[in-house]
Amino acid sequence: MIIQPKTRGFICTTAHPEGCAEQVKRQIDYVNAQPSITGPRNVLVIGASTGYGLASRIVSSFAAGANTIGVYFDKAAEGARTASAGWYNSAAFEEAAAAAGRKSYSIVGDAFSDEIKAKTIDLIRTELGQIDLVVYSVASPRRTHPKTGETFSSVIKPLGGTYTNKTVNFHSGEVSQATIEPATEDELRQTIAVMGGEDWQMWIDDMEQAGVLAEGATTVAYSYIGPEITHAVYREGTIGAAKNDLEATAKRLNEQLSTNGGRAFVSVNKALVTQSSSAIPVVPLYISALYKVMKEKGIHEGCIEQMYRLFSERLYGNCETLVDEKGLIRVDDWEMRPEIQAEVAEVWAKLSTENVYDLSDLAGYRREFFQLFGFETDGINYEADVNPEVNITNLR
């Protein structure tokens, strides 16, 4: 089958197995070129197939030499439909981990369900015994509550007032004004139910009760703060309220785990092109401006660089200030440097359809978006016939 990108809005409905494998290989190569980390031995990553979760799994396995279990929601190829990018990424990861002599297992299914939690706990018991790091990196538009059966949908909306700002159609380069009406109380409640901390807490409770969390275990989930320009729609909007809930959960989990020498953190990461962030209005244009400024200064990072820094310098490093005054780990520190933000704000004020490719790195954004699905990757022949059916070796 010849596989080409097919887009629908901010979604690409096809993925290329060889391109995805090459993207995973590049992340592994990056990590292999860095000093190794004395860190966790057995790691569970929930939301492990793309973005920050995949990078966390790669760092765990290839920098710390850990055994890993990845839980994710991805689809295998079927008929004329390719598998999802996360499926191909995970197949490539598992193959490389096995070649490097590390144990790795995949569980594909809904992490929000009791069934997948129970299945994962059984797998830990039989294969790894106990887990000493749990990474929670799920980003989802929906969640069905395992106890009540209610299905919640998340929205990305401001609270209290209408928000208008610049946005870009990153396929056409057209810069326009996006106007988003404020969320209702119910939309806010549902967004917190999807992207807040309840499911993370459920995972840790179930694992603790089952005795599969090692003494001194660490858990980490990811958050974002970002610049003034996106505050109304992000940090002070529905998704920010969900992140507040996630951060409050980290405090509770930290107390809970500390009785056994453990710790819980939220790490605030940098804005990056992922399947989730491309769905947020305004953010792709901000990321394009940010990339331009950070690349020019030589401090640009992708998911893998961010996660390597999180593990080596923060979670398992000897840094003096592990958390900020709110108790958050900050690997968005380079993004948030005042001089970076001042330059981005200057660019932002000038951005229009006419100058967007000159003033921002929209071309880089677009390319990275397609690379998430294994396209636009050097060294891959996209005219060649390729088998879309790829097995994941240790799928349970």
> Which residue ranges make up the site for ligand NAD (CB under 6 A)?
47-53, 71-74, 86, 110-112, 137-140, 222-224, 269, 271-272, 274-277
Quick one: 95 or 247, whose CB is closer to ligand NAD?
Answer: 247
Quick one: 191 or 276, whose CB is closer to ligand NAD?
Answer: 276
Torsion of CA 357, 361, 367, 372, to 10 degrees: -140
Quick one: 115 or 215, whose CB is closer to ligand NAD?
Answer: 115
Quick one: 13 or 350, whose CB is closer to ligand NAD?
Answer: 13
Shortest distance, CB of residue 92 to ligand NAD, whole angstroms? 14
Q: Say if residue 320 is exposed, middle or buried (CB neighbours under 10 Å; 0-12, 13-18, 19+).
A: exposed
Shortest distance, CB of residue 114 to ligand NAD, whole angstroms? 13
Catalytic residue (choose from 30, 224, 234, 286)? 234
Residue 382 CA: distances (Å) to CA of 26, 87, 174: 18, 19, 27
Quick one: 13 or 353, whose CB is closer to ligand NAD?
Answer: 13
Shortest distance, CB of residue 69 to ligand NAD, whole angstroms? 12
Shortest distance, CB of residue 55 to ligand NAD, whole angstroms? 8
Shortest distance, CB of residue 193 to ligand NAD, whole angstroms? 13
Shortest distance, CB of residue 274 to ligand NAD, whole angstroms? 3
CA 121 to chain centre: 23
Q: Say if residue 27 is exposed, middle or buried (CB neighbours under 10 Å; 0-12, 13-18, 19+).
A: buried
Quick one: 163 or 203, whose CB is closer to ligand NAD?
Answer: 203
DSSP state of 76: -
Shortest distance, CB of residue 310 to ligand NAD, whole angstroms? 11
Q: Which residues pair with 220 in a beta bridge?
A: 135, 265
Query: β-strand 213-223 against 174-180: which pairing, if any?
Result: unpaired
Please list the helix, strand and coil fractions of the chain in percent, rounded to the nearest 5, in that order. Answer: 40, 15, 40
Other CB atoms within 10 A of residue 129 CB: 13
Most distant pair of Cα atoms in the chain: their distance: 59
Terminus-to-terminus CA distance in the chain, angstroms?
28
Tell me the C-alpha distance between 247 and 198, whole Å: 11
| 88 catalytically annotated | no
Tell me the C-alpha distance between 306 and 269, whole Å: 7
Which has the closest alpha carbon to 130: 210, 200, 243, 190? 210
Quick one: 275 or 377, whose CB is closer to ligand NAD?
Answer: 275
CB contact at 8 A, 104 and 92: no
Where in the sequence numbering do the catalytic residues fall?
A: 234
